[in-house]
Chains A and B, each alone.
Chain A
């Protein structure tokens, strides 16, 4: 019995879409400069990834616990080292930038799953939660509160997305 994740991937493949998993594991020097310049309490931009114009991308949000928040990792953005949630203040904010401007997607915590566990967890997806779709040319922007998670984000933030192309 295929999972929801497998069903989705198979359906897109049947339509002729090829898929690559794209990961951002290191922050660019420019991002570090932005982080160091951010004021305490402000949201600092730590990741900006733009989908290539001839491709489409989804950041698959996972809900392996059917809505039980403690086990859910709604955004597939996490600290690769497996850090625990460090605050209830939702230090991570996700924005989407399109031709029409910025669009607030949601806020979340740092995840608690290790990178090695994430890939396997896709097989257990019951439903997609907080999945972000990017059309070609659109960007996803991850911001963290500079006084809470910046230092951790500098070294341990990782983002994975599924890039689709034909």
Chain B
């Protein structure tokens, strides 16, 4: 029994090499001469047919029972959730900012630098003629001419 406990502890360690050994040499690793009988005797009363079958094939049972618990997969899932949280938090940062800051970030994200330059350019083109016209009109007005 002591050996069995040690084997179970080793299995809980999750080492893939140990599970392979247990599958190949259930008697040696499990520390019992009658692994099938021990397995069946260890079953609870309500155990199903599957458990019985697994007991009949101790090597397969060892392989299935000692499979990795899927921690890597769940870890990946957590990582994915973590990534989403970061994205959300970024969005929140943008939304939580002042309206002016949010507008600025939108301009940077949406438009390539070229477009922004074109917008600025068009504004610059429109303004000078207005100033010239104002100078012209102001000059006329200074001479008493209605403009």
> Residue A133 contacts which of B132, B135, B144, B146 (CB distance < 8 angstroms)?
B146
Q: B residues 91-147 with Cβ under 8 Å of A?
A: 132-133, 135-137, 139-140, 143-147
A104 to chain B, nearest CB (A): 13
Residue of B nearest to A125 (CB): B143
Residue of A nearest to B141 (CB): A133
B133, A135: Cβ atoms under 8 Å?
yes
B138 to chain A, nearest CB (A): 10
Q: Is A127 an interface residue (CB 8 A)?
A: yes
B143, A56: Cβ atoms under 8 Å?
no
B133, A131: Cβ atoms under 8 Å?
no
Q: A residues 102-157 with Cβ under 8 Å of B?
A: 127-128, 131, 133, 135
B143, A15: Cβ atoms under 8 Å?
no
Q: How far is A71 from B18 in the complex, measured between Cα atoms in Å? A: 123
Q: How far is A128 from B135 in the complex, measured between Cα atoms in Å? A: 18
B99 to chain A, nearest CB (A): 35
Query: Chain A at the B interface: mostly helix, strand, loop or mixed?
Result: mixed
Q: How far is A125 from B136 in the complex, measured between Cα atoms in Å? A: 20
Residue of B nearest to A132 (CB): B146
Residue of A nearest to B143 (CB): A8
- When distances are taken between beta carbons in the complex, the residues of chain B under 8 Å from A15 are 132, 135-136, 139
- When distances are taken between beta carbons in the complex, the residues of chain A under 8 Å from B133 are 56, 135
**With A56-B133, A135-B133, A166-B132 in contact, do A12 and B146 touch (Cβ < 8 Å)?**
no
Q: Is A49 an interface residue (CB 8 A)?
A: no
> Residue A12 contacts which of B139, B144, B147 (CB distance < 8 angstroms)?
B139
Residue of A nearest to B139 (CB): A11
- When distances are taken between beta carbons in the complex, the residues of chain B under 8 Å from A17 are 136
B135, A58: Cβ atoms under 8 Å?
no
B136, A131: Cβ atoms under 8 Å?
no
Q: How far is A7 from B143 in the complex, measured between Cα atoms in Å? A: 9
A133, B147: Cβ atoms under 8 Å?
yes
**With A56-B133, A166-B132 in contact, do A133 and B145 touch (Cβ < 8 Å)?**
yes
26 A-B pairs in the complex with CB atoms less than 8 angstroms apart: A4-B143, A7-B143, A8-B139, A8-B140, A8-B143, A8-B145, A11-B139, A12-B136, A12-B139, A15-B132, A15-B135, A17-B136, A56-B133, A56-B136, A58-B140, A58-B145, A127-B144, A131-B140, A131-B145, A131-B146, A133-B137, A133-B140, A133-B145, A133-B147, A135-B133, A166-B132
